[in-house]
Amino acid sequence: MSRKSSENQAFSLKIISWYKANPRELPWRGTTDPYKIWLSEIILQQTRVAQGLPYYYAFSETYPTVKDLALAPESEVLRLWQGLGYYSRARNLHSCAKFIWYELGGIFPNTYSELLKLKGVGSYTAAAISSFAFGEVKAVVDGNVFRVLARYFGIDTDIASGKAKIEFETLANKLIPNENPGEYNQAIMDFGARLCVPKNPDCPKCPLKETCFAYQKNLVKDLPVKINKTKVKERNLHYYVIRCGENWVWKKRKSGDIWEGLHDFPHSEGEPAPYLGISEEKPRLIPKKYRHILSHQRLNASFSELEIPLEKHQELSKWCENEGYLLVAENEIEYLAKPKLIVNFLTDQGI
DNA sequence: AACCCGGGGCT
DNA sequence: AGCCCAGGGTT
C-alpha cells in the first residue's frame, strides 16, 4: 500500500479525532469475531441502526456461532427476520452459514476477496468485515461515506451510478490509514450518521468545515448528487382467508415477486374473485382496507373470509395439495414467517 | 446500466 | 410525499 498524502492524512486524522470524542456504543463494536461482525453488517444493510439492533440481539442470542445458524432450519431463520425486510438477506445469511460450516470446516473467510465470494456480501460488507475483524486496509463505502466524501471533496457524480461506486471506492482507499483501518471505517460512518447528516447538518460544529468544499462554497444542500429513478408500482391484492375448523389455508411465496419464502394467503390481483375453486360459497368481504407501502410498490390489500365445513376437510386437503397451498393449524401460525402486512391483518383479527 | 428487493423514521 | 438508511443480486 502506498504512503498517504499529507492532505489525506489530515482528513483521516480529523475524522478519527472526532470519532474518539463522539463514538456510538454499539454491541458489535469491540468484538473481532467475524461471525458477529458479518451478522451485524447483513442486518444493517439499508437499515438504520435503531431498527436493526433488536434483530442483532435476537440473532446473536439464538445463534451464537456460525454452527448454530447453519444447523437451524431456514423457516426459523426467516421467522426471526420477520419485520426487517429485504428477506433475501436472511436466506443468503443462512445459506452462507451452511456453506461455511459444511464446506469451509467452520472457518470464516478472512480476506476481502474471499469474503466477497459469499452470497449477500458485496464490496461494502467485505470491506467492513475484513477491516473490523482482520485489520485489512479496505475502505467501506456506504451511504454515509458517499455523502461525507461528496461534500468534503466537492464530487458531483451521481452516487447511484456505477461510475460513482468506482470513483468513491478509489478515493476512499486513498484516504484510509494503514494503521487501525477498521477504526477509521467506523469513524467516517459515525461521522456521516451523526454530524454530516443528509438534511440540515450542523456544519458550524464540524471539525472539517475550514477545508470542506461544500461548506466553503455553500453547496452542502446540493451534495451528494443522487438521481433517483425508481418508479413506484401500484398493486391491488385481494386475499382469501380460507378456514376449516382450526386449519387455515396458507401459501408460501415463491421467487419472482416480493416476500420470497414468506407466508401469506391465496390471493388474486385486481378484482376479487366471486367464487373460489373449493366452494360455491361466496367469500365474505372484510370492510377494512389495508395500504402497505414498500420502497418500490404501493399495495392496496383487501381480505375475504371463507369458512369450509368440516365435512369437506378431505376435499380441501386435496385441493391445497393440487394448488400448492398449506393447511396450517391456528396455533402454528405464529411460527410462520409472514410479511408485515399479514401480521397487521392477523393482529386486527385477534390472532 | 437498469431494475428489483421491505420497513421504518424524519423532514 | 419524498428521501434515506453500515447494499446486493439479477437481468
Total domains in chain A come to 2
Which residue is closest to B7 in terms of CA–C1' distance? A85
Look at residue A4 in the predicted model and tell me its pLDDT. 67
Domain of residue A199, CATH code: 1.10.340.30
Does residue A297 lie within any of the structural domains? yes
- Angstrom distance (rounded) from CA A139 to CA A1: 13
One domain, residues A293 and A214:
no
Does residue A251 lie within any of the structural domains? yes
Q: Any bridge partners for residue A249, and if so which? A: A327
- Angstrom distance (rounded) from CA A168 to CA A11: 15
Quote the domain boundaries for residue A329. 233-348
Does residue A228 lie within any of the structural domains? no
* Torsion A162-A166-A172-A177 (CA) sign: positive
One domain, residues A276 and A218:
no
One domain, residues A216 and A237:
no
Nucleotides of C under 7 A from a protein CB: 3-9
Look at residue A1 in the predicted model and tell me its pLDDT. 42
**Exposed, middle or buried by CB within 10 Å (0-12, 13-18, 19+), for A181?**
buried
Å between A199 CA and C4 C1'? 10
Does residue A227 lie within any of the structural domains? no
> In the complex, which nucleotide's C1' lies nearest to the CA atom of residue A292?
B7
Q: Which of A188, A222, A256 is the last residue of a domain?
A: A222
What are the backbone angles phi and psi of residue A66, rounded to the nearest 5°?
-65, -30
A306 three-class SS:
strand
One domain, residues A216 and A243:
no
One domain, residues A178 and A109:
yes
The b/e string for A107-129 (b: 16+ C-beta within 10 A; e otherwise) is ebbeebeebbebebbebbbbbbb
One domain, residues A60 and A184:
yes
Does residue A256 lie within any of the structural domains? yes
The residue among A343, A234, A349 whose CA lies nearest residue A299 is: A234
Q: Which of A160, A194, A222 is the last residue of a domain?
A: A222
Domain of residue A318, CATH code: 3.90.79.10
- Angstrom distance (rounded) from CA A259 to CA A250: 14
Give residues with Cβ within 8 angstroms of A269, minimum separation 6.
A235, A236, A237, A238
Cell numbers at residue A36, please?
Answer: 458477529
Does residue A1 lie within any of the structural domains? no
One domain, residues A216 and A289:
no
A234 is known as an active-site residue = no
Give 3-state DSSP helix, strand, coil % of chain A, rounded to 5: 50, 15, 40
One domain, residues A125 and A247:
no
Give residues with Cβ within 8 angstroms of A10, minimum separation 6.
A211
Q: Which of A201, A222, A243 is the last residue of a domain?
A: A222
Does residue A121 lie within any of the structural domains? yes
Cell numbers at residue A260, please?
Answer: 420470497
DSSP conformation class of A350: T
One domain, residues A208 and A326:
no
The residue among A43, A33, A37, A39 whose CA lies nearest residue A96 is: A39
- Strand C: which of residues 6-25 in chain A lie with Cβ below 7 A? 24
The pLDDT averaged over each successive group of 10 residues in chain A (351 residues) is 73 97 93 97 98 98 98 98 98 98 98 98 98 98 98 97 97 97 98 97 97 98 91 95 98 97 96 87 96 97 97 97 97 98 98 93
Q: Which helix (H) or strand (E) holds A108?
A: none
- Angstrom distance (rounded) from CA A242 to CA A263: 14
One domain, residues A314 and A213:
no
Strand B contact at CB of residue A257, distance < 7 A: yes
- Angstrom distance (rounded) from CA A302 to CA A282: 15
To the nearest 10 degrees (0 to 180), the angle between helices A88-102 and A34-44 is 160
One domain, residues A90 and A188:
yes
Q: Any bridge partners for residue A304, and if so which? A: A240, A285
Question: Per the residue annotation, which of A7, A25, A41, A271 is the catalytic one?
Answer: A41
One domain, residues A10 and A75:
yes
Å between A294 CA and B7 C1'? 7
- Angstrom distance (rounded) from CA A37 to CA A152: 29
Does residue A274 lie within any of the structural domains? yes
